[in-house]
Structure formats: C-alpha cells, structure tokens
C-alpha cells in the first residue's frame, strides 16, 4: 500500500501488528478514527495505555486484575474452599458467564506442552499446591481442555495434589445439551456412554 502520509502508515502498521488484523482492515480503522473527533482517538489511546499500565495478576489466583487481588477473590460471597483450575482468563470468563459457579479460581497460564517448551515450572502449579497446603481449599475442580497437553497437565496436577487432603474433580464431559447424537464426535459419544449417570426426573 502506498501511503502519502507517514502518520497514517505508522498507525496502520500499529493496528496491523495486532492478531487477525490485516493492513486493509487497519487502514479502515485508521480512517474511521480520523473521521471522528480528535477526542475519540485520544480517549482510545489513553484507555489502552492505562489498561496495560494498570493491569496485573491476582496474587491469589493469577487471574488478571486491577488490584493486588482480583474481584472474584475479594468477593466475600464466593466460596474459597472450591478452586476451579483453568488455563486462562478466557476460561474464567466463560465459566463466570454461566452464573453457575460460586467458588474461586486458579489460572495456570497455559498447559504443559513439551513441544512448545512449556514445563510445569512455567505454570502456576506450585502456587496452586501451596494454596491447597494452606488448608482452606477442600475441592480442586480441574476445568482444563481434554487435549493431550490438557490431560498431561491434569495428570501432573493430580499427582502433585494426591498427598494432600483435598477432593479432586473434573468438569463433566459428554454430549452437549441440545446437541444431536449423530453429530457428536465419536470420542465424546463413546465416553458419554461409558460414563453414563443415573437418570433423574427433573423437578418441574
């Protein structure tokens, strides 16, 4: 692309450095900002810079947070005896969106992946073990993707925790609600038959 303005070129490069944004999209965003009042762009820039400067990891659960402890860990209505272990903040948000969980979290920051050179020491595993050792936690819920790396991580975690007086569970896997059997993948369907549960009549 042939920019007659260095300022536009630099701004396009800045947007195009973000994942999933190509130079054509970047140009559209820049021209949009130019069409708006100057205030809009300045506010946008300040928000991004302020976010990056202010954001930190919660000292308890390693969720992203505005303060030393995150809003979930600080919330007195949450049950600190149940800790849901997830890979990333995205998973925290997905579970929070369900409104079904009242415990707290522990964000690993990824999963063990020898191929990508990620070992247990790069993840928040020691801090989880330490947290359980402190005695408040009674249940650790492993909510990690059932991939090879995820299974490895769950296996490693359960080995690290096995000597401690804590219940370890994983989230239920099976055919989605509303999912049709014929479209479920073989592995999920197979496991959901093997791991069948007693049928309960729903209360109406």
Q: Based on CB atoms, which residue is closest to its own copies, 19 or 178?
A: 19
Integer angstrom CA distances of residue 20 from 15, 16, 23:
10, 8, 10
Between 88 and 188, whose beta carbon lies closer to its own copies?
Answer: 88
Other C-beta atoms lying within 10 Å of the C-beta of residue 159? 9
| Residue 29 C-beta: closest distance to its own copies, Å | 5
Tokens (6 digits) for 150 = 């995820």
CA dihedral 12, 15, 18, 23 (to 10 degrees): -40
Smallest separation (angstroms) from its own copies to the CB of 204 = 29
Q: How far is CA 16 from CA 7, 24, 25, 43, 53, in A?
A: 14, 9, 8, 20, 22
Question: Cβ of residue 77: shortest distance to its own copies, in angstroms?
Answer: 14
Name which of 66 and 116 has its Cβ closer to its own copies. Answer: 66
Question: Which is closer to its own copies, CB of 70 or CB of 123?
Answer: 70
Q: What pairs with residue 57 in β-bridges?
A: 64
The least distance separating its own copies from the CB of residue 26, rounded to whole angstroms, comes to: 10
Binding site for its own copies (CB under 8 A): 1-8, 10-11, 13-14, 17-21, 25, 27-34, 38, 40-55, 63-66, 70-72, 88-90, 92-93, 96-97
CA-to-CA separations, 111 to 2, 60, 91, 155, in angstroms, rounded: 43, 19, 13, 11
Q: Which is nearer to its own copies, 92 or 111 (CB)?
A: 92
At its nearest, how many Å lie between its own copies and the CB of residue 66?
5
């Amino acid at each position: 692309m042939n920019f007659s303005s260095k300022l536009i070129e630099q701004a396009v490069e800045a947007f195009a450095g973000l994942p999933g944004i190509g130079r054509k999209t970047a140009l559209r965003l820049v021209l949009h900002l130019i069409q708006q009042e100057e205030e809009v762009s300045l506010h946008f820039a300040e928000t991004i810079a302020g976010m990056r400067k202010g954001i930190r990891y919660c000292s308890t659960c390693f969720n992203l947070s505005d303060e030393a402890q995150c809003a979930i860990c600080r919330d007195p209505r949450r049950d600190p005896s149940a800790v849901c272990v997830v890979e990333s903040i995205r998973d925290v948000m997905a579970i929070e969106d369900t409104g079904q969980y009242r415990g707290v979290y522990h964000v690993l920051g990824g999963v063990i992946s020898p191929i990508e050179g990620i070992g247990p020491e790069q993840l928040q595993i020691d801090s989880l073990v330490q947290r359980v050792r402190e005695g408040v936690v009674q249940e650790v819920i492993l909510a990690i993707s059932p991939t090879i790396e995820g299974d490895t991580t769950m296996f490693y975690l359960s080995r690290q925790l096995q000597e401690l007086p804590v219940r370890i569970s994983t989230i239920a896997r099976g055919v989605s609600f509303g999912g049709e059997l014929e479209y479920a993948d073989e592995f999920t369907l197979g496991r959901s038959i093997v791991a069948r549960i007693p049928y309960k009549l729903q209360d109406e």
